[in-house]
Chain A
């Protein structure tokens, strides 16, 4: 079974987001970059499936600037067999659909049974790319998956929705997108980290993917990011100390009479 896992490099969730005066992007100076957490669940699941089947290959693919190579190496250290870095200045400013075009082009000549994604890139929080790749490649899609049973040529997938779980039967090949809870991603072992240095990491640009630079990047995108801003700050309010019984009575009174929320 061959699985291609798409990963996105994003700021660590502990990052305090700062925005420079031009408001076009975040200030990257103090950012620690990680594999988007949902993509890690996808990668872990892919590795587990390969281990269970005892055959096949796990390939990780990422579109991103030079620094994305470190996340691809991390994925190789976790156990992926090979990596593909889609790198071209022409890709900058791609919206979700342009990104989906790039990713779809990258799998054209690769055999796969599953295209695995995280349910969203932590940061832009859009949840669009998996569905768009599925549509471009005419594949079935299941997102927000919490449990996965792989059979021959089909899968049964448990998908978390509002207040319920959907059980979905899905023919392979398919596009799947992982939810938290699917598994517990492993840490790379020292041996894995050493081995990762020798694993293949291919770098492909727009020309190699037979993509016209005008159909990707900011030029090929129909949704533009005008600006970023920080939410209005909150003021610290009334802090009650001392006797707990008194503090509780006072809190309930404030919530009932001042805030009028209970």
Chain B
């Protein structure tokens, strides 16, 4: 009985959320007496294979043909399908990233089945049951797999904990030959441009500072950015200000933007529309700053300041800087 885990390689390195998936597979395998094979796809991917080894799979499968040097969901899904067949896997774990979502859905279709997608909780009782957010977290669904095909599960990044890496772990690293020809690949990545951003990536941040219409205009949005910078936080925004063109949509938190669950979420001048709350209400601590004491955001905030963002934000940024310098 095997779990195959797909390990995503970015710039030669194993992605952190894939290592979370390997760790989760190891925990279940230890409990149930299964074995874990980590599939590393990319070229070059030697360093990623070594890194994945430290999370103690029983075996690492390395698909590092030059063909895998640029990402294509057709070739990567072919690799995952080959690993599943070769290992006779009953379960497949993939981190639900931009790449993972494409690869896992494409591979599941090869096995005539669906994915337990973007899950945040998992249970085994002679079959997998999973918990996943729906309506961007306005509700949760319990889903279950049936039938005898392999079960494909994509795990939401930053939810399952990564184990302590063990540098002494030296599982077998075996090359995986993938039966695919270059002319079968009809779409491939030809360039990757990193986003130019002074702050942390939103969906991976421990702290998020978001701004809304209360900032009154794009020229004032630096007040949000200043506080984010002082805190080492990511910057976010409400849909209203994205739709008004103040900031780009990558910053949007909410139902048609990103769903975040940082340790601390600071909402500045955001009233708390229901689609916004859906995207951030699973944050551990929520702080609201708004001049309207009746704003819905205060109903879910752990701490709130009723006040003018133009007064409060610069003061807060200064106070945070002071705290950090006292260290």
Contacts and interface: CB of A to CB of B under 8 A. Distances in A.
Interface of A: 11, 13-17, 19, 26, 37-38, 95-98, 100, 122-132, 134-136, 139-144, 156-157, 159-171, 174, 180-181, 221-231, 234, 236-241, 244-245, 247-249, 251-252, 254-256, 259, 261-262
Contacts of A129: 105
Contacts of B285: 255, 259, 261
Interface residues of B, number: 95
B281 A234 contact: yes
28 contacts: A13-B275, A14-B273, A15-B274, A26-B135, A95-B114, A122-B256, A123-B134, A125-B136, A126-B115, A131-B105, A132-B106, A139-B186, A143-B102, A166-B192, A168-B189, A169-B187, A170-B187, A222-B112, A222-B113, A225-B143, A228-B142, A230-B140, A231-B140, A239-B293, A239-B298, A241-B293, A256-B323, A261-B263
Interface string B70-91: 0111100100000000000000
A180 B252 contact: yes
B139 A231 contact: yes
Contacts of A249: 319
B97 to A, nearest CB: 6
A2 B124 CA distance: 46
A243 B118 CA distance: 44
B268 interface: no
Interface of B: 71-74, 77, 97-99, 101-102, 105-106, 108-110, 112-118, 129, 133-147, 149, 185-195, 197, 201, 203-204, 207, 231, 248-250, 252, 254-257, 263-264, 273-275, 278, 281-282, 284-287, 293, 298-308, 311-312, 315-316, 319-320, 323
A121 to B, nearest CB: 10
A226 B105 contact: no
Contacts of A100: 109
Contacts of B142: 225-229
A26 B106 contact: no
Nearest to B313: A248
Contacts, number: 272
Given A144-B98, A180-B257, A223-B144, A167 B108 contact: no
A28 B58 CA distance: 48
A239 B306 contact: yes
Contacts of B72: 140
Given A125-B135, A223-B145, A240-B303, 16 more contacts: A95-B114, A131-B73, A131-B105, A132-B114, A140-B186, A141-B74, A141-B106, A161-B97, A162-B203, A226-B142, A236-B300, A236-B301, A239-B306, A240-B306, A247-B307, A248-B305
Contacts of A97: 108-109, 112-114
B133 A125 contact: yes
B139 A141 contact: no
Given A159-B98, A162-B201, A231-B137, A171 B187 contact: yes
